[in-house]
A and B are shown apart, each in its own frame.
Chain A
């Protein structure tokens, strides 16, 4: 792979570009305090990424408990009550603890570098939004040890399962979700403020790299829907502790209202988890195809229309609650409409590849796998969007297959692609390509072994979130469990690769990849703690 790289420029200390600022910061706290008090976007970005990786492994272990129980029919390893806590915690941790913080971490690192800003607009707030997370998730995890156990009602916490019938620890669950939500909101404010106000002179909105664009739109989604989530869990809190009846039919409330409110947050939330991934892939594919991104403007418009449409489709999660026919039709068609801008994106990525001079560095491998496997998830989404068909698919493993295809080889592969892509900028070293390829292929095979059979078990009627199943699903489940173990183990290769890259490896120049054009590649590798203290000279590339 190294043969594809441009000749390396001299790597010596880059005081000229970064203007060695160490002397301006007297007595930086050292050790733990340094990380606790840091307001530097790169350090906070690193903290976010480490936190996310930790959560990824904790959530992964919970998933493996689930898969171990489902390895064979019958109940063998865990009690059903504990199984329910595992499925719930797995979902909550992965969504709010792994995927979202990983994207915020990447934004912290890369948004200022890509728009030519010296730091995030609100550095202290940035520190606070990060440190809310460890507190929130320690609290959430501690509910597992409380009497009555942790949350056991699924990551969607439908009332009244999560109110009337919930374990006593639910109040702590609500508190931790509030904290995680505030963290995301503050992160979103910061990102919006940075992108709108701190761009390098001369950089117009339509000159911004797509990762910045997709994050700007994601941040607006967060501002719009995180308060709705906060409202829903506040209502739950009041139903549980203060005798209100928002979701309690006995007191005149309505459990279906819970689902409407939850999915009004929840569907935009799934796009919050995929739009930044689109941005990452839109950076990587042009780099390794050595061609500018095809259809930059249409990418921006497609992202924006996906975001707007995402507010009009929520009830596709509720086709079976007894919606009137007009509502079924409305939500069926709006959902299918989302496939159009999504298709535009996939088309643009493929068109970018067309006649490019492509190389297959690990980052590119993950990005290409993203395009293919995410599309599979898009197609199963389209099948689920067909309201009459969803009556059969709903709450089966088919849904599980769908959202894992969009989230694992979708969001998570994009995050990994981003990590491999930007590691040279972060550490100054290239990641080990051989290790990267092992990680990639083990992950791809593991993911497909795990989730592809779930399409079949789901279509055959296997319900989700149940610790036992009928005999005819045994083979599919065994394959899924083996795949899950393989995927889980191969993530150790990822950690190994990252650690190896931090500690050494082939040195990377400022512009680590031949085809990489954005501003972050104009600062030295590794990026010094302070960059762009004077705004860079930005020359728009024609898209």
Chain B
């Protein structure tokens, strides 16, 4: 190889490396966020209640926001828009899905937590967001959320907002896939 060819060869290698790196960033980003809990995503698996004493000296306001994404004719209602809980205390709150459209549809509520740091201290024991829902036309479905904010929740966090966005699940997004990898980008 002459020197020009060598330079070109090296730059092309670097180029391919960077292109691969761009795609590698997708799983890396998810892994990074999951470890540090900095993008407000919570695990997709039910977790057990942490056995700890309820901290009655402290109140945390938990707010719920529900909304429907594009092309989603459903509504998600919550029993209380806002409640005050003690760290360590398991809490149950009821949600209700209703399909206002004239046709059966599968949908899914994608969760998010704000501030994101709180997601590390949020344990969901039961959540409709772990699975997809299938609703017949006009059907209404009640589903509970059971969660606990652990006592190690940083003291500067006084309000935690849980957001649920409804999306339709198309046939191409297989039910199984969506269930096993809801926090990973790039899944089909």
Closest to B2 in A: A197
Report, as a range, how many residues of chain B touch the other chain.
Answer: 35 or more
B188 is an interface residue with CB less than 8 A from chain A = yes
Determine the chain A residues whose CB is within 8 A of the CB of B3 once the complex forms. 196-197
Determine the chain B residues whose CB is within 8 A of the CB of A224 once the complex forms. 14, 18
Determine the chain B residues whose CB is within 8 A of the CB of A246 once the complex forms. 26, 185-186
Determine the chain A residues whose CB is within 8 A of the CB of B170 once the complex forms. 243
Determine the chain B residues whose CB is within 8 A of the CB of A254 once the complex forms. 29-30, 39, 41, 185
Q: Verify B8–A252 contact, CB threshold 8 A.
A: no
Closest to B23 in A: A231
Determine the chain A residues whose CB is within 8 A of the CB of B96 once the complex forms. none
Q: Verify A252–B187 contact, CB threshold 8 A.
A: yes
Say which one of A71-79, A255-263, A338-346, A501-509 lies at the interface with B: A255-263
Known: A189-B11, A197-B3, A246-B26. A322 touches B116 (CB 8 A): yes
**How far in angstroms is the closest Cβ of chain B from A31?**
31
Partner of B14, one of A223, A235, A322: A223
Give Cα A165–Cα B69 distance, bound, in whole angstroms: 12
Partner of A249, one of B21, B22, B165, B181: B165
Determine the chain B residues whose CB is within 8 A of the CB of A327 once the complex forms. 38
**How far in angstroms is the closest Cβ of chain A from B7?**
5
B81 is an interface residue with CB less than 8 A from chain A = no
Determine the chain A residues whose CB is within 8 A of the CB of B141 once the complex forms. none
Interface residues of A in 236-290 (CB under 8 A from B): 242-247, 249-254, 256-257, 260-261, 264
Q: Verify B108–A227 contact, CB threshold 8 A.
A: no
**How far in angstroms is the closest Cβ of chain B from A316?**
17
A37 is an interface residue with CB less than 8 A from chain B = no
A459 is an interface residue with CB less than 8 A from chain B = no
Give Cα A443–Cα B51 distance, bound, in whole angstroms: 71
Closest to B22 in A: A231
Give Cα A535–Cα B185 distance, bound, in whole angstroms: 54
A121 is an interface residue with CB less than 8 A from chain B = yes
Determine the chain B residues whose CB is within 8 A of the CB of A165 once the complex forms. 70
Q: Verify B167–A249 contact, CB threshold 8 A.
A: yes
**How far in angstroms is the closest Cβ of chain B from A242?**
8
A9 is an interface residue with CB less than 8 A from chain B = no
Interface string of B156-180 (1 = CB under 8 A from A): 0000000001011110110000100
Determine the chain B residues whose CB is within 8 A of the CB of A252 once the complex forms. 110, 178, 181-185, 187
Determine the chain B residues whose CB is within 8 A of the CB of A225 once the complex forms. 18
Interface residues of B in 101-152 (CB under 8 A from A): 108, 110, 114-117
Give Cα A235–Cα B12 distance, bound, in whole angstroms: 21
**How far in angstroms is the closest Cβ of chain A from B132?**
11
Among A245, A257, A264, find the residue whose CB has the most chain B CB atoms closer than 10 A.
Answer: A245
Q: Verify B114–A227 contact, CB threshold 8 A.
A: no
Main secondary structure of the interface of A (DSSP, over half): helix
Determine the chain A residues whose CB is within 8 A of the CB of B31 once the complex forms. none
A419 is an interface residue with CB less than 8 A from chain B = no
Interface residues of A in 193-234 (CB under 8 A from B): 193, 196-198, 223-228, 230-232
Q: Verify A223–B21 contact, CB threshold 8 A.
A: no
Q: Verify A231–B19 contact, CB threshold 8 A.
A: yes
B50 is an interface residue with CB less than 8 A from chain A = no
B15 is an interface residue with CB less than 8 A from chain A = yes
A122 is an interface residue with CB less than 8 A from chain B = yes
Closest to B172 in A: A243
Determine the chain A residues whose CB is within 8 A of the CB of B186 once the complex forms. 235, 244-246, 253
Closest to A196 in B: B7
Give Cα A122–Cα B6 distance, bound, in whole angstroms: 13
Q: Verify B7–A324 contact, CB threshold 8 A.
A: no
Partner of A245, one of B12, B25, B39, B185: B185
Q: Verify B187–A227 contact, CB threshold 8 A.
A: no
Determine the chain A residues whose CB is within 8 A of the CB of B173 once the complex forms. 243, 245, 250-251
Q: Verify B22–A261 contact, CB threshold 8 A.
A: yes
Q: Verify A230–B29 contact, CB threshold 8 A.
A: no
Q: Verify A192–B165 contact, CB threshold 8 A.
A: no
Give Cα A323–Cα B170 distance, bound, in whole angstroms: 31
Determine the chain B residues whose CB is within 8 A of the CB of A357 once the complex forms. none
Closest to B12 in A: A189
Closest to A229 in B: B22
Q: Verify B11–A244 contact, CB threshold 8 A.
A: no
Known: A231-B23, A256-B39, A322-B40. A122 touches B18 (CB 8 A): no
Determine the chain A residues whose CB is within 8 A of the CB of B115 once the complex forms. 322, 324
Closest to B6 in A: A197
A164 is an interface residue with CB less than 8 A from chain B = yes
A185 is an interface residue with CB less than 8 A from chain B = yes
Determine the chain B residues whose CB is within 8 A of the CB of A324 once the complex forms. 36, 38, 115-117
Q: Verify B22–A228 contact, CB threshold 8 A.
A: yes
Known: A224-B18, A251-B173. A197 touches B4 (CB 8 A): yes
Q: Verify B29–A257 contact, CB threshold 8 A.
A: yes
Identify 14 new A-B residue pairs, CB closer than 8 A, beyond the known A193-B8, A251-B173: A189-B12, A193-B7, A196-B3, A228-B18, A231-B19, A231-B23, A242-B188, A245-B186, A250-B69, A250-B167, A250-B168, A251-B187, A261-B25, A322-B116
A interface list, Cβ under 8 A from B: 121-122, 164-165, 185, 188-189, 192-193, 196-198, 223-228, 230-232, 235, 242-247, 249-254, 256-257, 260-261, 264, 322-324, 327
- 8 residue pairs of the A-B complex, CB under 8 angstroms, read A121-B4, A196-B7, A197-B3, A227-B22, A250-B173, A252-B110, A253-B186, A254-B30
5 interchain residue pairs of minimum CB distance: A231-B22, A250-B167, A227-B18, A227-B19, A253-B185
